[in-house]
Amino acid sequence: MPNPGEETPPSDCSDPESVPCRPRKARQAQESHDGDVPSLCPPQLPTSGPPRVLSMAELLETAQEVSKMTIAHEIVVNRDFKLQEVNFSPNSLESRVKETLHKAFWDSLKEQLSASPPDYTHVIQLLQEIKETILSLLLPRHSRLRGQIEEALDMELIRQEAEHGALDIPNLTMYILGTMAMLCAPVRDEEVQRLRGVTDPVQLLREIFRVLDLMKMDMVNFTIQSLRPHLQDHSVQYEQKKFQELLAKLPNSLDHTTEWLHKAAAEVSASSLSSPSHPEVHGSPAPLSLGAVSRSSSTPSPMSVLNQGYMNLLRWEPGIEKYPETLLMDQARLQEVQLQVNQLTIIAAVLLVSSSVCGSALFSSPGFREALLDISNHVHQEVSESLLQLGYAAFTSDKSASLKGQIRSIAEDDNGVRSVIEQRIHSFLSLHLSPRAQNSRSLPKGLAPIQEELLEVGHRFGSVIHHNRQVYGPYYLAILKKVVLPGAEPEAGIDSF
């Protein structure tokens, strides 16, 4: 696994090949304006032209750089990120091929050791690999242990013993297990101890390699955990530097981002026309509160456009719209947030309908809200049972039909209750677009039953957006100034978010 930390640039713009920076005072002034604004200088957008054709070597190099950038990004934004053992399904092609190859190798080794005299060729190779793996797990302070391992697993001596038929495999494996026990994480103690009871040398070597692979994974995860604070300190500069390098090779890498901002600008402009200052237009949704329209009645502010773009990600239609390039590394995370928002919308709408039909006393009874996770008939059944348990009158046929009908209609896109709930949830999530609004995130009416889940979703959404704005904010501003909002007035916030 590549070490993303090695690619981290200095925290200041000291790279002689980088784009010239703003004066330090100007950068500090912008930093104090909003914590979302990075301290790097504005990026250089590519000039328009035909797509550049990359050679195979350039493609491989670019793919490697994107992989490094993705890993570093994942470590920073995903606190739970770690490597895990890959387990193929038992009947998958990968599983069958792996099992066939492994069986052939270990069967061959068993035949070599069963020969007379034994053939230790493959055993020596395995012992060499085991030694190298164990040495790779050592820390710099383990110099004394390193010397002991070099002496105990002296490959030249092992080859001489094999040539004379005096190779003591059980003794070597016991030393290896003892060393593994010293180096492994506590979670692996039981597995290493279990290996001491394996008597078949071939099976024991196979299990040693399996556990060593787990120990290597543990070491990589430990390294990731150690690198995380360093990466967090430099992640914005690192990702901007890598993206600028990628942009130099692939000039069209911001086409979908530009389309995304174009659409957001059009929506904000149309929404501003429906505000009280434009009484001739009715029925359009109100603009987002974060980021006002500029003093020019026809030009929205960059902040409002970017915020609208972020909120549009919660209504994204896969397969119809192309995801912005600047958000591809977070696409899976944001689509998961979108799915959770849709689920919470349905749940809150069902709860609101049930409350209005059944009354607040039943609605607030312990355990009732948890029962309303399914819809229609199941909800009706749970409501009827709860009414009987609490001593209320049974449902009339009219109320039963009304409850079922309203819940079923929630699945329709134009359902009034669903639209109101969705608008309130989106309004609440829009407050998470800026860290400055964290003290004013009051919960809209009707969302109290899903408060805990909504707060968690809002935190996840805000964290992703905050990091994205820090990294790509200069690119968004450059696109807005050059392409989307060329007529924006300077006082409208065109130079900063």
Counting as low any pLDDT under 50, the low residues of the chain are 1-41, 277-297, 368-369, 371-374, 376, 490-495
Helix (H, G, I), strand (E, B) or coil at 190: helix
* 207 in Cβ contact with 196 (< 8 Å): no
251 located within any domain: no
**Residues 384, 317 share a domain:** yes
For 265, other C-beta atoms within 10 Å of its C-beta total 23
pLDDT of residue 469: 93
How far apart are the C-alpha atoms of 8 and 409, rounded to whole Å?
A: 53
What domain range is 476 assigned to?
Answer: 257-271+301-484
Same domain, 472 and 340: yes
Is residue 311 one of the residues assigned to a domain?
Answer: yes
Contact between 38 and 477 under an 8 Å Cβ cutoff? The reply is: no
Supply 34's token pair.
């909003």
DSSP letter (8 states) at residue 11: S
Asked if 474 contacts 241 with a C-beta cutoff of 8 angstroms, the reply is no
- pLDDT score, position 188: 93
Q: Are residues 166 and 219 in the same domain?
A: yes
pLDDT at 294: 47
In a domain, 88, yes or no: no
Closest to 36 (Cα-Cα) out of 399, 413, 310: 310
Query: Within this chain, do residues 480 and 437 fall inside the same structural domain, yes or no?
Result: yes
What pLDDT, on the 0 to 100 scale, is given for residue 367? 54
Strand partners, 318: 321
Residues 202 and 261 in one domain: no
- Tell me how far apart the alpha carbons of residues 282 and 278 are, in angstroms, rounded to a whole number: 9
Q: What are phi and psi of 300, to 5 degrees?
A: -75, 160
User: CA-to-CA distance for 378 and 288, rounded, in angstroms?
Assistant: 37
Looking at the DSSP assignment, which residues form a beta bridge with residue 283?
none
**How is residue 451 written in tokens?**
């408060």
CA atoms of 369 and 385, how far apart (whole Å): 13
Q: How many domains does the chain have?
A: 2
pLDDT of residue 441: 59
Shared domain check, 198 and 318: no
User: In this structure, is residue 451 part of a structural domain?
Assistant: yes
Radius of gyration of the chain (CA): 31
